[in-house]
Structure 1
Amino acid sequence: MVRRTRAETEETRVTLLATARQVFGERGYADTSMDDLTAQAKLTRGALYHHFGDKKGLLAAVVEQIDAETDQRLHAISDTAEDAWEGFRNRCRAYLEMAQEPEIQRIVLRDTRAVLGGASPESQRHCIQSMQRLLDNLMRQGVVDEADPQALASLIYGSLAEAAFWIADGEDGNTRLAQGITALELLLRGLLAKR
């Protein structure tokens, strides 16, 4: 039996992830067979089982990868804004706009909910904690009214997540996106400290 090097093992994992991401994005989870996926990756089912357990485990790993990239994109939006409030608003808006991106729409919003029951608790906690830090900063600056930042972050995150599902599920996503952004602006204005 030939032993694989650590680099070869990691290369196999990366190949499976990249192939699954492409195929899930094009066909969706339900219409992707493990045989088609492993054939396209030029690997065996055994490699998939070894690295991810099963097709559902592979989907979870793909979602984790997309979530990490989405998180980086959102951080870049808030970190490069002219001020903290604009950064927060733009970040929330971008989250809704991402619901229109085919890969996020199909894999993260539709397949993850249908197959995995939604985002992992770890992913949800990370999003809420990130938003909590931004809100806490805005409260310290006097931009946002005082409230418990974790409670407020949980409410906003939940609203954004549900709105993203609503946008992704609609026949006319562009109309829903516009409606969602209008509603988001109304919601966010309510956070502002009265001057």
Structure 2
Amino acid sequence: MVRKTKVEAAVTREQLLDAAERVFRDRGVAKTSLAEVAAAAGVTRGAVYWHFRDKADLFGAMCERATSPLDAMLVEAGGRTHDDPLGAVRGLAVSALIRLATDPRAQAVFEVIFHTELTGELADFAGRQERDRCDCLSNVESIVEQAVARGQLPADTDTALATRLLHAYISGIMREWVFDKGAYDLAARASSLVDTIVAGLAANPPRRATRVRPRVRPRTASAA
């Protein structure tokens, strides 16, 4: 009986997350009440509070469900040694774009995220999102550093800046495509889009800034 209750609770939680995706996308997070989410899920308002503290907690769980597979892939890749580090970076980026292009849930959640101002009751989620971004950058940079160590990139490559360029490029594609899905077939173009940035990085990576010595001023007659 206990096992059945746990299963039923898990089903209800999934129903609430599914409903949140639909209602948040249709009405916006700020304009949606938990009662509306409960109604869309076909459960009572009390069921919402059984699973989630408040709307921010529900919003965070909805986002985590959609993004956790990619997060897990990044953590796993960042902790491994790669024979072809740039190839690993390419594979991660292509996988991220194809997942977005082929997963309606990911599309719905990213659409909600990109349209939502993370202030007020969602301010805590903004902090968590920033921590996730930093974790992503850290995992990717560890692979870029391997590319330097294996000679795929020059020794003076600014790995932090290179990683930020990769992140900005891929996240920019994701955001732009979510706003206009009919513009092109993202799944079909994913490989070529990623090849553009990886090839550019390999050909002309950002270099670490060298410290410039201040110019020595000529001595004046009085100083002679």
- Within the candidate set 151, 163, 170, 1:153 is matched to 163
CA–CA separation in structure 1 for the residues paired with 2:131 and 2:26: 25
In structure 2, what residue type is equivalent to 1:93? V
User: Structure 1: any 5+ residue segments left out of the alignment?
Assistant: 1-7
Cα drift, residue 66 of structure 1: 2.5
Distance 1:30 1:16, change over 3 A: farther
Percent of pairs identical after alignment?
Answer: 18
CA–CA separation in structure 1 for the residues paired with 2:100 and 2:194: 14
CA–CA separation in structure 2 for the residues paired with 1:115 and 1:50: 25
Distance 1:20 1:149, change over 3 A: farther
Deviations 1:147-184 (A, max 9, x none): 22222212211211111111222242543555564332
Q: 1:105 corresponds to which residue?
A: 107
Cα drift, residue 71 of structure 1: 1.7
Of 183-192 and 155-164, more deviation after overlay is shown by 183-192
Deviations 1:93-129 (A, max 9, x none): 111112212111111x110122254781111111111
Residue pair 1:105, 1:168 contacting (<8 A) in 2 also:
yes
TM-score (norm 1): 0.73
Of 153-162 and 171-180, more deviation after overlay is shown by 171-180
Residue 97 (structure 2) pairs with residue 96 (structure 1): yes
Distance 1:173 1:87, change over 3 A: farther
TM-score (norm 2): 0.65
Q: 1:4 corresponds to which residue?
A: none
Q: 2:87 corresponds to which residue?
A: 86
Indicate the RMSD between aligned Cα atoms, in angstroms: 3.6
CA–CA separation in structure 2 for the residues paired with 1:62 and 1:122: 17
Distance 1:94 1:174, change over 3 A: farther
Residue 198 (structure 2) pairs with residue 188 (structure 1): yes
Distance 1:80 1:169, change over 3 A: farther
Distance 1:71 1:29, change over 3 A: same
Who wins on radius of gyration, i.e. which is larger? 2
In structure 1, what residue type is equivalent to 2:142? R
Distance 1:173 1:59, change over 3 A: farther
Residue 129 (structure 2) pairs with residue 127 (structure 1): no
| Total equivalences in the alignment | 186
User: Structure 2: any 5+ residue segments left out of the alignment?
Assistant: 119-125, 205-224
Distance 1:189 1:168, change over 3 A: same
Q: How does 1:29-44 map to 2 (within 5 A)?
A: 29-31=25-27, 34-35=34-35, 37-38=37-38, 44=44
